[in-house]
Amino acid sequence: MKNNAFCYKLITWYESNKRELPFRNTTDSYKIWLSEIILQQTRVAQGLSYYERFVKKFPTVGDLAAQSEETILKEWQGLGYYSRARNLHHTAKYVVENYQSIFPTSYTELIKLKGIGDYTASAISSFSSKEVRPVLDGNVYRFIARLYGVETPINTPKSVKEFKLILEELIDKDKPDIFNQAIIEFGALHCVPSSPSCDSCIFQESCFAFSKKRVNEFPVKLKKKKSIERYVNFMAIQQKEGVWLVKRTADAIWKNLYEFPNLESEQMYTSEQHNELDKIGVKISRVAMPIKHVLSHQNIYAKLFICEPTKDFTPEVDWVFVPNIQFRNYPIHRLMEKMMESELKGEINF
Ligand code: SF4
């Protein structure tokens, strides 16, 4: 299909089918950046309230930069992938210090910022200043792979170049912002992963996958490696109206978030192995039902022990005692939230 006809059809479809989303009505690159970071790996329905809260509490990049990292992590709580929040804060401070608090709008400046990759830089630069930069997210990959029958697996580096070449041909050079919004929206609402609406599709006649009855075969993906299984035994050690927490410092997903002190084991602890906790000087008063928490490349099986300290209790140096009433001020990760919700509601002021 010629690109003019493609753009006309796509944009016409978009104008009458798009969702009304607050970050689509702005050209403020700071707000667009916030929305893009919040919506990475997050559904719009879940991310929307976070976006609205961030914009209200931190209306400018300077307001965001002035917060402590702990405040940002607390605001982010529940969204997961906390490195996004840490990068958000780092980048806000960087923009204040190096760009006089004016959030960049050009791809070449944006791509230099921490937490901003090709997709986000293309999205922000096209939405805020109409730079002709095609966006390539999961929705676009799926739609283009089906439309053109692209067999290259989309989770390989080589696919980026191939799909970008197609999009560079297609993109509306006068309205790159609307084109990008429209193509993402078409993948998100119409050419969806399972049971796309092919019968009512405006591109049906030119769609390779539809004509070959191979819609479910696209996009092609290489099989992922098997997830690692981990077994973690958490201890809610309650003492004098408070509980012990530890801050995660390892450079991994939950860095700088708090959790109960814990021991990792090869397998889920059986009741005979519970005396492993005696070595720490705690007495188990209750054991909660194990919880499975699924991350992108690991499954964590968490067992929560509600414990009391004995006379031999010696906390590790990096443990902090947190009075119940202050507990809510400490940013915690999603698995901690799950354990608290199912087992400790009411016992700690959460
Ligand atoms: Fe997607 Fe079906 Fe339309 Fe092809 S015909 S673009 S597979 S919705």
CA 243 centroid distance within chain? 29
Give percent above pLDDT 70 in the chain.
97
In contact, 24 and 51? CB cutoff 8 Å: no
Over residues 227-266, the pLDDT tens digits come to: 899 999 999 999 888 999 999 988 778 999 999 999 999 8
Q: Which residues are catalytic?
A: 36
Residue 342 has pLDDT above 80, yes or no: no
Structural domains of the chain ordered from first start: 3-217 (1.10.340.30), 228-343 (3.90.79.10)
What sign results for the dihedral spanned by CA atoms 198, 200, 201, 205?
Answer: positive
Cα separation of the two ends of the chain: 57
How many angstroms separate the alpha carbon of residue 202 from the centre of ligand 1? Answer: 8
How far apart are alpha carbons 10 and 171 in whole angstroms? 11
Is the C-beta atom of 207 inside 6 A of ligand 1? yes
* Least confident range of 1-5, 13-17, 99-103: 1-5
In contact, 256 and 248? CB cutoff 8 Å: yes
Over residues 144-184, the pLDDT tens digits come to: 999 999 999 999 889 999 999 999 999 999 999 999 999 99
How far apart are alpha carbons 196 and 102 in whole angstroms? 41
Is the C-beta atom of 188 inside 6 A of ligand 1? no
How far apart are alpha carbons 31 and 24 in whole angstroms? 10
Q: Is 35 exposed, middle or buried (0-12, 13-18, 19+ CB in 10 A)?
A: buried
Residue 350 has pLDDT above 50, yes or no: no
Atom of ligand 1 nearest to the CA of 215: 7
State the amino acid at position 25 in one-letter form.
N
How far apart are alpha carbons 324 and 347 in whole angstroms? 8
The residue to mutate among 150, 215, 218, 220, having the most atoms of ligand 1 within 8 angstroms of its beta carbon, is 215
In contact, 124 and 105? CB cutoff 8 Å: yes
Over residues 23-59, the pLDDT tens digits come to: 999 999 999 999 999 998 889 999 999 999 999 999 9
How far apart are alpha carbons 304 and 182 in whole angstroms? 46
Residue 164 vs residue 297, higher pLDDT: 164
In contact, 146 and 209? CB cutoff 8 Å: yes
Over residues 261-280, the pLDDT tens digits come to: 999 998 888 777 777 777 78
> Please, what is the angle between helix 118-129 and helix 176-189, to 10°?
120
pLDDT-based confidence at residue 221 (cuts at 50, 70, 90): very high
Is the C-beta atom of 183 inside 6 A of ligand 1? no
How many angstroms separate the alpha carbon of residue 143 from the centre of ligand 1? Answer: 7
Over residues 49-104, the pLDDT tens digits come to: 999 999 999 999 999 999 999 999 999 998 988 889 999 999 999 999 999 999 99
Residue 346 has pLDDT above 60, yes or no: no
Residue 335 has pLDDT above 70, yes or no: yes
Q: Supply the pTM of this predicted model.
A: 0.73
